[in-house]
Amino acid sequence: MKKVIKRFVLFLIIGLLVAGGWYLWQLKQHVTQTLKWEPLVKTVLEEENLAEYEELVLAIIFTETKGNNVDVMQSSESKYGEQNKITSEKESITSGVRHLSDAIKYALDNDCDIWTGVQAYNFGTSYVDYVVIHGNKNSLSLAEQYSKDVLAPMLGNTNEATYHYYEPMSLIHNGGKLYQNGGNFFYAELVKRNMTIIKKLS
């Protein structure tokens, strides 16, 4: 019996090591694909006089698409009000950078932290007004509350309906759920984490 248990534990450890190695390899591939757009990001940021946002923009690309889509920053909706209208990576980055800059500026002008602006990149700038009356600082709990109580109902989800979101951070937090029509309340935290991942694996 002891031998069986030892073998089981050994196989479990090997399985975890293999899974962990595969996950790290996949992350490295995503980072490499994201950094492919670094020269274009630098160009756009220089044109917009926003060079200080380079790491943040790359982390947003990683979060949104891993660099594997023409609309690398998923900025079609913020520019056109609908998906799949962006026709080039430069248009996506330019639009995304402008939207991000506007969101961060609005947050800072209202005495909120920069991560309120980053979360507003996903939620829309009305989120900043919500944060202003709830302590002027973004947090996961505040973003979740806004998603459930404001954004989702405003867009038609009045019964707190959720859908599965298979992301490690979400799985740990609530078993992997987001509110339908409620944006991604993990967004700012994901961008923070992905900024660190890029630094570690680039």
Residue 185 near residue 146 (C-beta atoms within 8 A): yes
For 144-182, write each residue's pLDDT tens digit.
999 999 999 999 999 999 999 999 999 999 999 999 999
Beta-carbon contacts of 142 under 8 Å, excluding residues fewer than 6 positions away, are 130, 131, 134, 135
Rounded CA-CA distance 101/53 in Å is: 9
User: What CATH code is assigned to 2-201?
Assistant: 1.10.530.10
Q: What is the pLDDT of residues 36-81, one digit of tens each?
A: 999 999 999 999 999 999 999 999 999 999 999 999 999 998 888 8
Matching residue, tokens 């570690």: 200
Note the pTM of the prediction, 2 decimals: 0.89
180-183 long-range contacts, CB within 8 A, separation 24+: 180/152, 181/151, 181/152, 181/154, 181/155, 181/156, 181/157, 182/147, 182/148, 182/151, 182/152, 182/155, 182/157, 183/122, 183/123, 183/124, 183/147, 183/151
Tell me the pLDDT tens digit for each residue of 99-144. 999 999 999 999 999 999 999 999 999 999 999 999 999 999 999 9
In the chain, where the domains are located: 2-201
